[in-house]
């Protein structure tokens, strides 16, 4: 759509988990390091959690791409399964046939034999369960039982649980105490900060660029951070909408005003929420320490009787007026009004272009319907009708003889070529300048003719 306009090889902010566009932020580097440690260290369970759209699947794809051919992987992405269906899904993904109507002990025997054969061949068996927070308690307990397949030295299968933050809450339940004790590696992927958001956006633009890469300014990336909270999937949605708006407006440079229009459109259609957005943190400043004031000790004055103790009335704190929502609504109304004005001006220009085209078509039709031949000069006398008949003896009549000199003079005058001088050019009107700016210097509808 906009790839050719911005010299891009493909859409840089696609929502598909492409490992080629993984930005190595601090949290993603650490999570990838934990995944590799879990594989190389033959850990039992590895748990990776993160918010929705934080890049867990992209990180997982990057890890799986780096594996060699000595690793057999079973990856489950649909986790709405019970215990038996989970075992069958693992076998199918390993390339085994669970058969029809076979009991669960036979399925577990075949799966254990497959894992032993893989270990004898020097291969590693890896089970990756994505969206693990959707597993039922019975399915999670079945996963724990699969981890019991082991030799005297190590586990026959390594299990990775990838899910959203509530996966930690599920694993913290008392029923899953045994599973929780077998978790060797656990890591939580946090969102990007404002600086990493700017680096993430421009990293993807550079990866997709054909020539000189397009770059978003810091003001634009700060606006993206405020409405995305540093979540990579939301960043992709907002940045893709900004490029689409820039293509529609034919703007080769992305500025903050264009980014605001794109964000407002996403808010109006419900893609983004209109709730409060986090402000961009300012650079940290070290405040000067407050001076230490020694406490003032009042002298103790003895009194005959202590004063009566009265309950102090609670202070009533009046909250400040909510001016922020009103200002935001007024700003939104002004932007909508400005957009309506721009649309009205664009419709007026299009209507005027159509009128100029129709006028040109009409003049062209008049020129085609006009008879061929040069037009008689202005003021020339019309020939007499009907022409005079000659006499019977061949001699012209007296009237014809008297009119002969005048006719010869008129014939001689008609043979003379009148000299036409080009008129002075008329001043250009506003619409003529608009037409020349839109269509360029056009060819005249009626060619200049001369005798």
DSSP H or E segment with residue 161: strand 158-163
123 belongs to a structural domain = yes
Domain holding 236: CATH number?
1.10.8
31 belongs to a structural domain = yes
For residue 299, what pLDDT is reported? Answer: 39
Does the pTM of the predicted model rise above 0.75?
no
Considering the domain architecture, whether residues 160 and 237 belong to the same structural domain is answered as no
**Residue 392, token pair as written in the block:** 């019977």
Of 165, 189, 213, which residue constitutes the final position of a domain? 189
For residue 376, what pLDDT is reported? Answer: 53
Nearest to 158 by CA among 93, 71, 49: 71
For residue 213, what pLDDT is reported? Answer: 87
DSSP H or E segment with residue 188: strand 183-189
CA distance 433 to 420: 28
384 belongs to a structural domain = no
Give pLDDT tens digits for 130-159. Answer: 999 999 999 999 999 998 887 767 788 999
Of 225, 252, 268, which residue constitutes the final position of a domain? 268
Beta bridge mates, 129 = 76, 161
**Residue 46, token pair as written in the block:** 């590895």
CA distance 18 to 61: 8
The per-residue pLDDT of the chain, averaged, comes to 77
For residue 153, what pLDDT is reported? Answer: 72
**291 pLDDT above the threshold of 90:** no
Nearest to 93 by CA among 68, 122, 72: 72
Give pLDDT tens digits for 405-432. Answer: 454 444 444 444 444 455 555 556 666 6
- Selected residue with higher pLDDT from 295 and 196: 196
CA distance 260 to 127: 44
153 belongs to a structural domain = yes
Nearest to 19 by CA among 58, 60, 64: 58
- Selected residue with higher pLDDT from 404 and 47: 47
**391 pLDDT above the threshold of 60:** no
Contacts of 126 (CB under 8 A, 6+ apart): 39, 67, 71, 72, 73, 74, 157, 158, 160
281 belongs to a structural domain = no
Give pLDDT tens digits for 176-231. Answer: 999 999 998 999 999 999 999 999 999 999 999 998 889 999 999 999 999 999 99
Considering the domain architecture, whether residues 149 and 168 belong to the same structural domain is answered as yes
237 belongs to a structural domain = yes
Q: What percent of the chain has pLDDT over 70?
A: 67
- Reported confidence tier of residue 175, pLDDT bands at 50, 70, 90: very high
Considering the domain architecture, whether residues 134 and 244 belong to the same structural domain is answered as no
CA distance 18 to 300: 76
For residue 400, what pLDDT is reported? Answer: 47
Give pLDDT tens digits for 359-372. Answer: 776 777 766 666 55
Check: CB of residue 21 under 8 Å from CB of residue 201.
no
- Reported confidence tier of residue 272, pLDDT bands at 50, 70, 90: confident
CB burial class (10 A; 0-12, 13-18, 19+) of residue 136?
middle
For residue 383, what pLDDT is reported? Answer: 52
- Selected residue with higher pLDDT from 265 and 325: 265
**Residue 12, token pair as written in the block:** 């840089």
290 belongs to a structural domain = no
Nearest to 173 by CA among 132, 140, 143, 145: 140
Domain holding 88: CATH number?
3.40.50.300
- Reported confidence tier of residue 41, pLDDT bands at 50, 70, 90: confident
Rg of the chain over CA atoms, in angstroms? Answer: 43
Considering the domain architecture, whether residues 96 and 159 belong to the same structural domain is answered as yes
CA distance 45 to 183: 5
Give pLDDT tens digits for 116-133. Answer: 999 999 899 999 999 999
Count of CB atoms within 10 A of residue 386's CB?
5
Give pLDDT tens digits for 82-110. Answer: 999 999 999 999 999 988 888 999 999 99
CB burial class (10 A; 0-12, 13-18, 19+) of residue 294?
exposed
Of 241, 268, 295, which residue constitutes the final position of a domain? 268
CA distance 198 to 215: 10
Q: At what angle do helices 232-248 and 218-228 cross, to 10 degrees?
A: 130
**Residue 71, token pair as written in the block:** 């690793």
- By residue count, the chain amounts to 451
CA distance 199 to 222: 11
Check: CB of residue 188 under 8 Å from CB of residue 49.
yes
User: Which residue range(s) make up the domain with 115?
Assistant: 26-189
157 belongs to a structural domain = yes
For residue 425, what pLDDT is reported? Answer: 56
Residue 203 zone, left/alpha/beta (φ > 0; ψ -120 to 50; rest): alpha
Phi first, then psi, for residue 241 (nearest 5°) are -65, -35
Considering the domain architecture, whether residues 140 and 247 belong to the same structural domain is answered as no
Considering the domain architecture, whether residues 73 and 140 belong to the same structural domain is answered as yes
Please state the rounded mean pLDDT for residues 382-410. Answer: 50
Total domains present in the chain: 2
**313 pLDDT above the threshold of 50:** no
**Residue 344, token pair as written in the block:** 């009205």
């Amino acid at each position: 759509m906009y790839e050719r306009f911005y010299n891009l090889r493909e859409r840089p902010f696609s929502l598909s988990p492409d490992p080629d566009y993984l930005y190595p932020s601090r949290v993603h580097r650490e999570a990838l390091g934990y995944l590799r440690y879990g594989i190389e260290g033959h850990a039992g369970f590895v748990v990776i959690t993160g918010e929705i759209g934080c890049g867990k699947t992209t990180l997982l794809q990057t890890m799986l791409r780096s594996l060699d051919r000595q690793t057999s992987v079973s990856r489950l992405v649909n986790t709405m399964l019970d215990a038996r269906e989970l075992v069958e899904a693992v076998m199918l993904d390993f390339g085994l046939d669970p058969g029809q109507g076979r009991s669960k002990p036979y399925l577990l025997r075949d799966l254990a034999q497959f894992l032993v054969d893989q270990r004898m061949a020097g291969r590693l068996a890896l089970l990756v369960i994505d969206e693990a927070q959707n597993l039922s308690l019975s399915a999670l307990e079945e996963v724990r039982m699969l981890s019991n397949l082991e030799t005297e030295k190590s586990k026959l299968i390594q299990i990775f649980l990838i899910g959203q933050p509530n996966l930690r809450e599920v694993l913290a339940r008392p029923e899953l105490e045994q599973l929780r004790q077998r978790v060797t590696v656990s890591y939580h992927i946090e969102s990007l900060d404002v600086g990493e958001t700017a680096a993430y956006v421009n990293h993807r633009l550079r990866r997709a660029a054909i020539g000189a890469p397009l770059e978003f300014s810091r003001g634009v990336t700060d606006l993206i951070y405020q409405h995305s909270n540093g979540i990579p999937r939301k960043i992709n949605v907002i940045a893709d909408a900004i490029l689409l708006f820039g293509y529609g407006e034919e703007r080769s440079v992305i500025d903050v005003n264009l980014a605001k229009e794109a964000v407002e459109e996403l808010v109006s259609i419900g893609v983004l929420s209109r709730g409060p957005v986090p402000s961009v943190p300012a650079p940290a400043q070290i405040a000067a320490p407050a001076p230490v004031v020694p406490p003032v000790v009042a002298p103790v004055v003895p009194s005959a009787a202590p004063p009566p103790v009265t309950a102090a009335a609670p202070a009533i704190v009046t909250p400040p007026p909510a001016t922020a929502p009103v200002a935001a609504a007024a700003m939104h109304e002004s932007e909508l009004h400005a957009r309506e004005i721009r649309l009205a001006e664009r419709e007026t220009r299009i209507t005027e272009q159509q009128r100029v085209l129709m006028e040109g078509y009409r003049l062209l039709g008049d020129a085609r319907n006009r008879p061929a031949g040069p037009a008689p000069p202005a003021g020339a006398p019309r020939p007499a009708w009907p022409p005079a008949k000659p006499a019977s003896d061949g001699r012209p009549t007296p009237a014809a003889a008297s009119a002969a000199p005048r006719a010869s003079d008129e014939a001689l005058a008609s043979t003379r070529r009148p000299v036409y001088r080009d008129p002075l050019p008329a001043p250009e009107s506003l619409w003529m300048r608009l037409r020349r700016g839109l269509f360029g210097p056009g060819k005249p509808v009626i060619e200049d003719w001369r005798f």
